[in-house]
Structure 1
Amino acid sequence: MDATRNLHIETSSCGRDTYLVGECSTNGCDWCQSRIRLDDCLGDFGGRFQWGGHDFTEDAKNIHFNPEEGGSRVPVLRADLRDSVGRYLPNKDVNLAERINNVNGRLEFH
């Protein structure tokens, strides 16, 4: 994710919401804290992450995040997600940079 640093995830105290949190550059030199509720833009559809869905956290366990995965150093969210019959499918992933970007110092879903 361009012009971001210190990206990490946080889960609400009730465990029903997952947030991406980090610092975003506003103009190349100033940084500000930003957060986006991932449950507003990610869902679980049959055991897979779905962009444009909602509330993936309700069907997930073992949620973890790597801000710089692989050779291209992309931010990847992983979780065990529940399929349509209630089984957990392990280690499903989504590249958050596919649809979340820094826009004028704010993390936004596109």
Structure 2
Amino acid sequence: MGFHKSSMDIELKNGHVLTAYCRRPTGEATYSELNLDDFLGTKRGRFAWSAEDFSAHASDVFLELEGPTHEPMLHAALDDDEGGQHMDVVNLADCIKNENGRLRYMDCF
């Protein structure tokens, strides 16, 4: 299950730090931060999981909760190999989970 289903006040800080209040099994919510640069990078102008430092190659970065289930979609203009940029989007719920009230990256691809 994606972290967004058991979290609230999901935001992006400094263009690369995911923040949220994540519910624990006891029902209480704890504040958690996760630096996306530690495991999200870019390849050929596209987001790439299990890479690093996407924000060094990105501009116009923003997070939107989209669709009926409020999927956490990260949008950015990413540098490509030819000196240009491409808009790309990645669903953060694909590889991030709420583990006992903490945001955690999980290998997913």
- Indicate the SS of the match to 2:37: helix
2:39 match: 41
TM-score under structure 2 normalisation? 0.90
Q: Distance in 2 between matches of 1:75 and 1:94?
A: 8
Structure 1 residue 84 and structure 2 residue 81: aligned? yes
Q: How far did residue 41 of structure 1 move?
A: 1.1
Matched residue SS, 1:39:
helix
1:2 is paired with a residue of what secondary structure? helix
Instruction: Indicate the residue corresponding to 1:10 in structure 2.
Output: 13
- Distance, in Å, in 2 between the alignment partners of 1:8 and 1:107 is 12
After superposing on structure 2, the runs of 4+ consecutive aligned residues of structure 1 that deviate more than 2 Å are: none
Work out the CA distance in 2 between the residues paired with 1:103 and 1:2: 12
- Give the TM-score, by structure 1 length: 0.89
1:26-85 deviation digits (Å, cap 9, x = unpaired): 12520100000000110011000001010000000000001x202332000000000011
Residue identity matched to 2:12: I
CA distance in 2, matches of 1:35, 1:2: 16
1:14 match? none
Question: Which sections of structure 2, spanning at least 5 residues, go unmatched?
Answer: none
Tell me the amino acid that sits aligned with residue 91 of structure 2: N
* SS of alignment partner, residue 55 of structure 2: helix
Using the TM superposition, give the Cα deviation of residue 2 of structure 1 relative to its aligned residue in structure 2, in angstroms: 2.4
For 2:73 and 2:80, the matched residues in 1 are separated by 20
Equivalences, count: 103
For residues 1-110 of structure 1, what are the structure 2 equivalents within 5 Å?
1-11=4-14, 18-66=16-64, 68-90=65-87, 92-110=88-106
